[in-house]
């Protein structure tokens, strides 16, 4: 009732039982004061002097009458509510439709909304709320292609102030996706909700959505402080943290657990896998699911059923368009493997050289479909798109030039390092793994370094190394005992030519001997005679297999997906959506938890795609753990720090990026520094805008809680390490945020979207090897000498293994139609009223467009031999934009696949 107010400390009382003010109209109750067993009633109509009495619940007056004067009126806020149109959810639509026309009570079959003021009620000192209003899906205002708009009316007191939040309760039977709520009054206030609202019967918590405005914790309006804390508690799993059972698809709880769900010991020992995380296999933590333990091992979490998805918080699930794109990719993968699969069942293992017939010719791929007859079109549909290396030539063998170029501008440009000492020295324990002395000697390289001495070549930064010796040697006995798996611990030496290209000049192949007093190592060099030529091809193929394993297990999975997941979990648990750091990072966290859950479901699990397709097999994740234990450091994850650690750059204040590359034509680093610097410039403007006081960083309890939890709960096996960066001042925060954004955007793009273009043609880049190099003592050495090419091809993956691998990485290397690329943000409304931030975001977008032009210019420069020239593929992985599909270019905001 307009002009009427009641405040009660107890439960709301029915209108017909209001005490006091006999003879007056019954009063509607609107607010409660906790912790006081008193009831206050007063009635005012316009501006008038009114006497009111303070009474207890039984109607007994307990205080003298008080005379007051106040002007209380009501006002209305009109709002437009945008709800995403349902897709493939007809059951939900039917249930919601029926609930509209058959409500069980006055709130059944509707959504109840309530505004929260930024001010506290001065009488109760509690958040000031509007009257509840109802959103009914039967009252459609407008329907667009993707969303529908509904008009609602909020009734508030005239002294309500500015709305700062809105609560929502879903009384329908199914979830719905709330896009936005826009209030035209008060300067067009917008709530960007972007979230699934669950039925109240599944989630009894009121959903809270805050105004599109950034507030540091200390700047939070008084009316929103309680709601800010309440929302974070819900994300952590309840006020008391008691929601520790199995998490359901509709939950929004973010919590931690170890990787104890990769194996399935109930199927037998072959499917059992060790827990990742802890002393024996240190590893970052993951998002908790709470599934029950297996029957065979109480410490192992059971696998989901075939009809069940691994839990991620509801808003982390893929959008429909993304899931449809993945499903289409899976269908293509199945269709493209039908013929190879049938041939495998009929003919057995086929030599990989036959793979060309299953790949479209580049000319075929480019012919418009309108010019193709139906038969040809169907035939092409069952073929793979040509990978980048296949399109540049049909050789089944990796040339030395291409081998050297790829370590700078190919699948994995993150492993190459400058050789500082010759011969290279192992860090493994010689009492366990034998002599650490390298078999590489001066005579192996002296004829390949253009007349230099070895010392001169080292001093002039001419020698580089791709060293996988320590990564693989501890696991080789177990790997080589697997069926159709054979590997060496490889060390490859490269020489930097005058043209700026790397030339492979020696490869050391090591095997464990079981005797610490002996070593089994051999060194191969490029050669022109027929036998040595094939031995050299063998060695390069083994290096590629090792490189592919390290690329996938260490640089891609560990450094990006696994190590960033707990940072995302901590952000949702400790940073309010109103926090400036959460706002900045939000697009850079998109889809990552879902992608990682999918990886646990089908990629890194026992007998998953990683184990089936890469040399380490069932020991793959243990290699990841070893790298995490002995090598990974968060303070070395930024691009400049990583380049300096690998000896590929030196600090130089005269250079635009503060470092000087020792290989000028290093496309990954050269293009990457452009993006790194632009990210850092944006972050610097952003951080300095919100943290003007040097002490503001250390006093921001949400920020500090986030970073502390990321370390202690996200990386417990490294929580006591001395190398964690500090977070005390703006410079610390700038470095931290720049590193995070770089990792999930540009570095991930390089590692992920290079897979199919650079590793899709398996004869050139085998992902595993099935044979060791034959020695003269071996029984099959005569077969090798008789036909070395045939023997070599038989050591590569089979045709069926190759096509299965191609199908997997083709899906993973593709951009979905809803991809969001770096520089493009659709949430600029979060910074309305802050032109400095809007301008910085616009400038960042402009920078990305300019970087794209600069990369195209470099790719056309004939002086840059690693990205331009006959038979040389342009380096496009760090071009910011892309279309959908496996394009080999484009930098999304986050690790989306």
State pLDDT tens for residues 222-271: 999 999 999 999 999 875 444 578 999 999 999 999 999 999 999 999 99
163 pLDDT above the threshold of 50: yes
Closest CA to 633 of 650, 645, 648: 645
Per DSSP, helices labelled H in 530-666 are 530-550, 563-574, 580-585, 592-598, 609-613, 620-630, 639-645
Both tokens assigned to 189: 């206030």
% of the chain surpassing 90 pLDDT: 72
677 pLDDT above the threshold of 60: yes
The three-state DSSP-derived secondary structure of 415-469 is CCEECCCCCCCCCCCHHHHCCCCCCCCHHHHHHHCCCCCHHHHHHCCCEEEEECH
* Comparison of pLDDT for 100 and 154, the residue scoring more: 154
Per DSSP, helices labelled H in 144-266 are 185-188, 222-236
Rounded Cα distance, 132 and 144, in Å: 27
826 pLDDT above the threshold of 90: no
| Cβ-contact 150, 139 below 8 angstroms | yes
DSSP for residue 816: P
Strands lying side by side in the sheet with 31-32: 31-32, 4-8, 39-43, 46-55, 61-72
Top mean-pLDDT range of 53-62, 108-117, 712-721: 712-721
| Cβ-contact 42, 72 below 8 angstroms | no
- What pTM, to 2 d.p., does this model score? 0.90
Residue 531: per-residue pLDDT: 80
pLDDT band at residue 21, thresholds of 50, 70 and 90?
Answer: very low
DSSP for residue 250: T
The per-residue pLDDT of the chain, averaged, comes to 87
Rounded Cα distance, 778 and 788, in Å: 14
Rounded Cα distance, 610 and 617, in Å: 7
| Cβ-contact 161, 118 below 8 angstroms | yes
Q: Looking at the DSSP assignment, which residues form a beta bridge with residue 192?
A: 180
Per DSSP, helices labelled H in 162-268 are 185-188, 222-236
186 pLDDT above the threshold of 90: no
**Structure-derived torsion over alpha carbons of residues 285, 287, 289, 294, reported in degrees to the nearest 10:** -20
107 pLDDT above the threshold of 70: no
% of the chain surpassing 70 pLDDT: 86
Beta-carbon contacts of 311 under 8 Å, excluding residues fewer than 6 positions away, are 246, 247, 248, 249, 251, 287, 289, 290, 291, 597
Both tokens assigned to 892: 């999304």
**Measuring CA to CA, how many Å separate 748 from each of 257, 466, 497, 848, 868?**
24, 21, 29, 17, 24
**Measuring CA to CA, how many Å separate 465 from each of 21, 407, 422, 492?**
90, 10, 10, 6
CB neighbour burial string for 307-341, b if at least 16 within 10 angstroms, e if fewer:
eeebbbbbebbbbeebebbbeebeebbeebbeebe
Residue 39: per-residue pLDDT: 41
588 pLDDT above the threshold of 90: yes
- Residue 510: strand, helix, or coil: strand
How many helices and strands, by DSSP H and E, does the chain display?
31, 24
Closest CA to 897 of 802, 819, 807: 819
317-364: pLDDT as tens digits: 999 999 999 999 999 999 998 888 888 888 878 888 889 889 988 665
694 pLDDT above the threshold of 80: yes
DSSP for residue 83: E
Residue 379: per-residue pLDDT: 61
Rounded Cα distance, 875 and 888, in Å: 9
Rounded Cα distance, 770 and 832, in Å: 60
Rounded Cα distance, 769 and 542, in Å: 7
Please tell me the number of Cα atoms within 13 Å of 876 on its side-chain side. 17
Closest CA to 175 of 232, 247, 95, 245: 95
From first CA to last CA, the distance across the chain in angstroms is 55
Residue 41: per-residue pLDDT: 39
Both tokens assigned to 364: 């075929």
34-78: pLDDT as tens digits: 333 344 434 333 333 344 444 555 555 555 544 444 456 889 999
370 pLDDT above the threshold of 80: no
Q: What is the mean pLDDT of residues 640-657?
A: 95
Backbone angles phi, psi at 511, to 5 degrees: -130, 150
Q: What is the mean pLDDT of residues 709-727?
A: 98
Residue 103: per-residue pLDDT: 41
pLDDT band at residue 392, thresholds of 50, 70 and 90?
Answer: low
Burial of residue 345, with CB atoms counted within 10 A of its CB: 0-12 exposed, 13-18 middle, 19 or more buried: exposed
Rounded Cα distance, 822 and 675, in Å: 9
Rounded Cα distance, 393 and 407, in Å: 19
| Cβ-contact 756, 807 below 8 angstroms | no
Burial of residue 452, with CB atoms counted within 10 A of its CB: 0-12 exposed, 13-18 middle, 19 or more buried: middle
Q: Looking at the DSSP assignment, which residues form a beta bridge with residue 649?
A: 661
Closest CA to 209 of 248, 178, 174, 246: 178
Q: Looking at the DSSP assignment, which residues form a beta bridge with residue 490?
A: 509
Beta-carbon contacts of 10 under 8 Å, excluding residues fewer than 6 positions away, are 32, 37, 39, 57
**How many Å separate Cα 500 from the centre of its chain?**
34
């Amino acid at each position: 009732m307009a002009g009427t107010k009641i405040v009660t400390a107890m439960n709301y009382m029915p209108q017909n039982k209001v005490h006091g003010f006999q003879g007056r109209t019954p009063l509607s109750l609107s607010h409660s004061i906790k912790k006081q067993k008193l009831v206050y009633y007063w009635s005012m109509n316009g501006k008038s002097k009114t006497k009111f009495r303070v009474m207890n619940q039984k109607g007994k007056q307990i205080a003298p009458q008080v005379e007051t004067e106040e002007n209380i009126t009501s006002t209305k806020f009109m709002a437009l509510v945008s709800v995403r149109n349902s897709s493939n959810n007809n059951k939900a639509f039917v249930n919601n439709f029926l609930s509209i026309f058959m409500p069980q009570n006055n709130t059944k079959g509707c959504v109840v909304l309530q505004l929260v003021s930024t001010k506290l009620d001065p009488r109760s000192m509690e958040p000031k709320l509007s009257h509840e209003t109802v959103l009914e899906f039967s009252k459609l205002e407008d329907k667009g292609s993707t969303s529908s708009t509904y008009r609602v009316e909020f009734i508030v007191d005239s002294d309500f102030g500015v709305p700062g939040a809105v609560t929502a309760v879903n009384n329908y039977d199914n979830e719905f996706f709330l896009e936005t709520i826009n209030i035209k009054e008060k300067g067009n206030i917008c709530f960007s909700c972007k979230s699934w609202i669950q039925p109240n019967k599944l989630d009894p918590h009121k959903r809270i959505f805050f105004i599109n405005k950034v507030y540091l914790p200390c700047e939070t309006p008084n009316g929103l402080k309680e709601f800010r804390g309440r929302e974070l508690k819900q994300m952590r799993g309840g006020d008391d943290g008691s929601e520790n059972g199995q998490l359901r698809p509709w939950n929004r709880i973010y919590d931690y657990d170890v990787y104890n769900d990769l194996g399935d010991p109930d199927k037998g020992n072959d499917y059992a896998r060790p827990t990742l995380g802890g002393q024996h296999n240190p590893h970052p933590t993951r998002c908790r699911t709470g599934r029950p333990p297996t029957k065979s091992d109480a410490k192992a979490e059971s696998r989901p059923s075939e009809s069940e998805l691994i839990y991620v918080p509801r808003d982390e699930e893929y959008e429909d368009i993304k899931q449809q794109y993945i499903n289409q990719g899976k269908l293509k993968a199945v269709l493209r493997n039908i013929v190879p699969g049938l041939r495998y069942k009929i003919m057995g293992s086929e030599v990989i050289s036959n793979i060309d017939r299953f790949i479209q010719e580049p000319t075929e791929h480019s012919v418009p479909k309108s010019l193709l007859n139906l038969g040809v079109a169907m035939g092409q549909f069952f073929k793979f798109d040509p990978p980048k290396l296949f399109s540049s030539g049909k050789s089944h063998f990796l040339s030395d030039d291409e081998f050297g170029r790829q370590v700078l501008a190919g699948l994995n440009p993150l492993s190459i390092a400058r050789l500082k000492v010759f011969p290279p020295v192992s860090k493994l324990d010689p009492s366990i793994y034998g002599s650490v002395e390298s078999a590489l000697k001066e005579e192996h390289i002296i004829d390949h370094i253009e007349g230099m001495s070895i010392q001169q070549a080292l001093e002039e930064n001419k020698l580089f190394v791709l060293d996988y010796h320590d990564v693989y040697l501890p696991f080789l006995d177990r790997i080589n005992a697997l069926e159709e798996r054979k590997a060496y611990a490889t060390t490859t030496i490269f020489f930097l030519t005058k043209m700026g290209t790397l030339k492979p000049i020696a490869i050391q192949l090591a095997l464990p001997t079981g005797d610490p007093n002996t070593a089994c190592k051999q060194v191969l060099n490029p050669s022109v005679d027929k036998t040595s030529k094939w031995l050299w091809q063998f060695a390069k193929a083994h290096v590629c297999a090792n490189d592919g394993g390290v690329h996938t297990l260490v640089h891609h999975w560990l450094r990006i997906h696994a190590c960033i997941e707990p940072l995302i979990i901590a952000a949702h648990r400790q940073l309010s959506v109103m926090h400036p750091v959460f706002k900045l990072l939000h697009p850079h966290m998109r889809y990552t938890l879902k992608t990682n859950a999918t990886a646990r479901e089908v990629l890194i699990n026992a007998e998953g795609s990683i184990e089936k397709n890469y040399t380490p097999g069932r020991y793959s994740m243990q290699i990841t753990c070893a790298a995490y234990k002995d090598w990974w450091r968060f303070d070395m994850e930024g691009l400049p720090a990583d380049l300096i650690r690998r000896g590929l750059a030196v600090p130089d204040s005269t250079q635009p990026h503060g470092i000087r590359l020792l290989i000028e034509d290093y496309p990954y680093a050269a293009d990457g520094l452009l993006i790194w610097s632009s990210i850092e410039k944006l972050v610097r403007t952003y951080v300095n805008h919100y943290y003007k006081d040097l002490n503001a960083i250390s006093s921001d309890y949400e920020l500090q809680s986030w970073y502390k939890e990321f370390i202690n709960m996200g990386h417990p096996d490294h929580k006591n390490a001395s190398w964690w960066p500090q977070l005390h001042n703006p410079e610390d925060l700038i470095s931290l945020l720049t590193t995070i954004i770089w990792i999930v955007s540009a570095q991930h793009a390089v590692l992920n979207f290079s897979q199919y273009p650079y590793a899709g043609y398996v004869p050139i880049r085998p992902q595993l090897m099935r044979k060791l190099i034959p020695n003269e003592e071996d029984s099959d050495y005569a077969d090798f000498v008789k036909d070395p090419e045939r023997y070599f091809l038989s050591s590569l993956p089979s045709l069926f293994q190759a096509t299965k691998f191609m199908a997997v990485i083709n899906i993973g290397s593709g951009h979905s139609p809803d991809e969001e690329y770096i520089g493009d943000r659709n949430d600029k409304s979060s910074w309305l009223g802050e032109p400095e931030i809007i301008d910085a975001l616009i400038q960042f977008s402009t920078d990305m467009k300019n970087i794209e032009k600069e990369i195209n210019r470099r790719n056309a420069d004939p002086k840059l031999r690693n990205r331009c020239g006959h038979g040389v593929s342009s380096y496009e992985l760090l071009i910011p934009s892309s279309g959908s599909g496996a394009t080999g270019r484009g930098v999304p905001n986050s690790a989306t696949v």
